[in-house]
Amino acid sequence: MKKIGYIIFIFLFTSNVIIAQKFVAQTSRTKVAAGETFQIQFSLNANGSNFKAPALNDFDVYSGPNQSTSMSYVNGTMSQSVTLSYVIAGKKEGKFTIGPASVTVNGATIQSNSIVVEVSKGNANTQNQGSGNQAPQNPSAPTTENVSDNLFVKTVVNKTKVFQGEQVEVSHKVYTRYQLRGFQDIKFPDYNGFWAQDVPVNNQQIQVSNENIDGVNYQVAEIKKTYLFPQRIGKLVIQPMNVECVVRKQSNKRPRDIFEQFFGGGYEDVVYAVKSKPITIDVSAVPEVNKPADFANAVGDFSFKAELNKDKVKANDAINLTITLTGRGNIKLVDPLKINFPEDFETYDPKVKDNVTTSATGVSGSKTFDYLIIPRHEGDYKIEGINFTYFNPEKKQYITIPSPEFNIHVEKGSEQDVAANVLNPRSKEDVKVLGNDIRYIKTKNIDLKPKGNYFFGSALFYVGLISPFLAFLGFIFIRRKNIELNKDAVAVRSRKATKMAKKRLFIAEQHLKLNNKELFYIEIFKALYGYISDKLNMPVADLNKEHISETLQTKNVSADIILKLITTLDNCEYARYAPSAVSGDLNGIYSNTVELITKIEDEIK
Run of H or E residues at 518: helix 517-536
Please tell me the distance from the alpha carbon of residue 240 to that of residue 249, in angstroms, as a whole number.
Answer: 26
Residues 6+ apart with CB under 8 A from 587: 512
Among 140-154, 400-414, 428-442, name the one with the lowest average pLDDT: 428-442
Residues 6+ apart with CB under 8 A from 347: 341, 371, 372, 373, 374
Please tell me the distance from the alpha carbon of residue 388 to that of residue 565, in angstroms, as a whole number.
Answer: 84
Give the type of residue at 189. P
Which of 559, 560, 549, 552 is CA-nearest to residue 535? 552
**Sheet of strand 267-275: strand arrangement:** 179-187, 242-250, 267-275
Q: What average pLDDT does the segment 4-26 reach?
A: 49
pLDDT the model gives residue 442: 64
Please provide residue 537's backbone torsions phi and psi, each rounded to the nearest 5 degrees. 55, 50
Which of 166, 168, 143 is CA-nearest to residue 155? 168
DSSP per residue over 176-225, as a string? ESSEEEEEEEEE----TTEEEEEPPP-SSS--EEEEEETTEEEEEEEEEE
Q: What average pLDDT does the segment 119-124 reach?
A: 73
| pLDDT of residue 445 exceeding 90 | no
DSSP per residue over 47-88, as a string? --EEEEPPP-TTEEEEEEEEEEEEEEEETTEEEEEEEEEEEE
The pLDDT confidence band at residue 125, using thresholds 50, 70 and 90, is very low
pLDDT the model gives residue 393: 92
Please tell me the distance from the alpha carbon of residue 191 to that of residue 228, in angstroms, as a whole number.
Answer: 8
Supply the angle between the helices 497-513 and 586-604 in degrees, to the nearest 10. Answer: 170
Q: What average pLDDT does the segment 230-241 reach?
A: 93
Which of 1, 62, 2 is CA-nearest to residue 37? 62
pLDDT the model gives residue 140: 45
Domain 297-422, what architecture?
Sandwich (2.60)
In contact, 319 and 373? CB cutoff 8 Å: yes
Query: Is the Cα dihedral 14, 15, 19, 22 positive or negative?
Result: negative
Choose from 391-405, 491-505, 533-547 the range with maximum mean pLDDT. Answer: 391-405
- Tally of CA atoms within 13 A in the half-sphere of 338 that contains its CB: 7
The pLDDT confidence band at residue 226, using thresholds 50, 70 and 90, is very high
In contact, 164 and 229? CB cutoff 8 Å: no
| pLDDT of residue 332 exceeding 80 | yes
The pLDDT confidence band at residue 237, using thresholds 50, 70 and 90, is very high
Range 352-371 burial, b when 16+ CB lie within 10 A, else e: eeeeeebeeebbbbbbbbeb
pLDDT the model gives residue 499: 77
Q: What average pLDDT does the segment 219-248 reach?
A: 91
| pLDDT of residue 8 exceeding 80 | no
Domain 147-283, what architecture?
Sandwich (2.60)
Please tell me the distance from the alpha carbon of residue 605 to that of residue 595, in angstroms, as a whole number.
Answer: 16
Average pLDDT, the chain: 78
Greater pLDDT, 21 or 91: 91
Please tell me the distance from the alpha carbon of residue 477 to that of residue 480, in angstroms, as a whole number.
Answer: 5
Please tell me the distance from the alpha carbon of residue 277 to that of residue 53, in angstroms, as a whole number.
Answer: 46
DSSP per residue over 111-129, as a string? E---EEEEEE---TTGGGT
Pairing verdict, β 312-314 and 406-411 = parallel
pLDDT the model gives residue 397: 92
Question: What number does CATH give the domain 23-128?
Answer: 2.60.40.740
Residues 6+ apart with CB under 8 A from 451: none
Q: What average pLDDT does the segment 509-534 reach?
A: 81
Classify residue 321 by burial, with Cβ atoms within 10 Å: 0-12, 13-18, 19+. buried
pLDDT the model gives residue 540: 66
The pLDDT confidence band at residue 488, using thresholds 50, 70 and 90, is low
Among 14-28, 44-58, 220-234, 459-473, name the one with the lowest average pLDDT: 14-28
No. of helices (H) and no. of strands (E), the chain: 10, 31
Greater pLDDT, 43 or 545: 43
pLDDT the model gives residue 419: 45
The pLDDT confidence band at residue 13, using thresholds 50, 70 and 90, is very low
Beta bridge partners of 356: 365
Angle at 447 between CA 443 and CA 448, to 5 degrees: 115
pTM: predicted TM-score of the whole model, two decimal places: 0.47
pLDDT the model gives residue 562: 82
pLDDT in tens, 170-217: 999 999 988 888 888 889 898 999 999 888 876 556 778 888 887 788
